[in-house]
Amino acid sequence: MADAAFVPMTAVAKPLRDRRLITRGLDRCSLPVFSAWLAPWFVMLAVGLYATYLALRFGLNQTNMDNRFAFGLWIFLDLGVIALGAGAFFSGFLLYIMKLRELQAVINTAVILGFVCYSGAIAVLLVDVGQPLRAWFTFWHPNVHSMLTEVTFCISCYLAVLTLEYLPIVLKNRRLKQNASFLVFEWELHRLVPLLAGIGTLLSFFHQGSLGGLYGVLRGRPFAYRAGLGIWPTTFFLFILSAMAVGPSFLLLVLSAVEGITGKKLVAADVKMTLGKISGWLLIPYVLLKSVDTLVWLHSTSRQAGFRPWEYYCWKPFGFWVLLAEIVVCGFVPAILLIRRATRSRPWMLVLSAALACTGVLLNRFVLTIQTLALPTLAFDKFMVYYPNWQEFAVFGAVVAYAVIVYSLSYRYLPLFPQEKELNRVSRS
């Protein structure tokens, strides 16, 4: 130890300078500016971690959930981020299976978004259950009839797939690339990516669908219950389609936000338009099928269960406006705007349409998770009201902060955008 003290530090290893971690040729802000950007997100994360500690240490009595509102903000968050994170599997499917090479420009961002959305959702699920240490019971005593079993298996496996897809991106870091074994490992992983994309697509189909099935099978909740094909309620298929439709839109929104914040062009305009076009053409069948499903439910499924469907909408604030907002304003309108070249070629219109599409799918998840529980089932029930408390919002905020931090670090230290150098060279010249 005494000898080691006399060895000059430079002889052991070069000091890890921030600039040496950034990919050559990429322009990034200074470390103090970057630290100032991250600071508020770390504060948000710390508050959320404290709220998580309270929930784990003292129990879920720390939340405003109760026996009637057994699911709350956190389940809405899970369903929401998993739908938005669908860009990862769908972009991978289009790029590696359908050979839509244009998406190479956004695939890294799609994978990172998927990774943070799924890991964030799983972390929140572990806080949301009463006995997190028993999470493995689902693998040990699985009930094959439960949609939640399917969700648990598929999202756990898919997170592993996303981790394997994220790893080659991390290993492209300038510093890590200097290690030959990392390079070999990255190359080997890269060869697996098309296979992983295929597995990810299969897993995603099942868990996106099962998340819809989670509510669609609830015979005891006629507001959510849907008839279907075989064991799958219609919500199973609608969730898959809506996630596929909204995934590219969310990717588009994030790319636009990153470009706005960094002041750089990261992706060519035609790639963004392609994302918008994909979203639009998938939103069309989704909203059409959703409309048919709603009519069948209103006129048949719900009545058979002894419920008068118009009564669902007499409880304020959930009037018919929710249905109109979801299907028309945030469904048909963005779909039409996105499929028309004239509208999607305007950047602000493209972003607005993508935002509307994402809002529509989030509203759909909100309706199924929150409105379902608020509505009475028994004739002597009352309409239930639930407001999340600060702990619930703080955990929600922590997931957002975690996502921003992981993405910011990835943007700074990893070569995410293959077109970045060229686009910014062009714009500077």
Partner 1 sequence: MPRKTHRYGMVIDVDRCIGCGACMIACAAENNVAPAPAGANERKGITPVRIERVTSGDEARFLPVLCMQCEHETPCVSVCPQQAVEVDRESGIVFQMPQRCLGCRYCMTACPYHARYFNWWDPSWPAGMESTLNPGVAPRMRGVVEKCNFCHARLQAAQDKAAGSGKQEIDAADYVPACVEACPTKAITFGDLADAASDVVRASRDGRAFRLLPKLGTEPKVYYRSELGWVRELAERGGGSPEGGKA
The residues of the shown chain that bind partner 1, judged by CB under 8 A, are 59-61, 66-71, 128-131, 134-135, 137-138, 140-143, 145-149, 152, 214, 217-222, 304-308, 311-312, 314-315, 372-373, 375-383
Please report how close the Cβ of residue 132 comes to partner 1 at its closest, in angstroms: 8
**Neighbouring C-beta atoms of residue 181, cutoff 10 Å:** 7
Please report how close the Cβ of residue 306 comes to partner 1 at its closest, in angstroms: 3
Please report how close the Cβ of residue 199 comes to partner 1 at its closest, in angstroms: 22
Nearer to partner 1, 40 or 132 (CB): 132
Nearer to partner 1, 8 or 306 (CB): 306
User: Rounded to whole angstroms, how far apart are CA atoms 339 and 276?
Assistant: 8
Place of tokens 């499917």: 93
**Neighbouring C-beta atoms of residue 198, cutoff 10 Å:** 16
Place of tokens 């939640």: 148
Nearer to partner 1, 187 or 310 (CB): 310
Please report how close the Cβ of residue 232 comes to partner 1 at its closest, in angstroms: 14
Please report how close the Cβ of residue 86 comes to partner 1 at its closest, in angstroms: 22
Nearest residue to 372 (alpha-carbon basis) of 76, 86, 132:
76
Q: Is the dihedral of CA 231, 235, 239, 240 positive or negative?
A: positive
Please report how close the Cβ of residue 330 comes to partner 1 at its closest, in angstroms: 25
Nearer to partner 1, 104 or 146 (CB): 146
Note whether 128 and 74 are within 8 A (CB): yes
Nearer to partner 1, 29 or 129 (CB): 129
**Neighbouring C-beta atoms of residue 238, cutoff 10 Å:** 22
Phi, psi dihedral angles at 232 (to 5 degrees) = -105, 120
Nearer to partner 1, 30 or 304 (CB): 304
Nearest residue to 75 (alpha-carbon basis) of 377, 363, 396, 406:
396
Nearer to partner 1, 152 or 424 (CB): 152
Tokens of 274: 């392609």
Length of the chain counted residue by residue: 429
Please report how close the Cβ of residue 374 comes to partner 1 at its closest, in angstroms: 10
Q: Is the dihedral of CA 303, 304, 307, 312 positive or negative?
A: negative
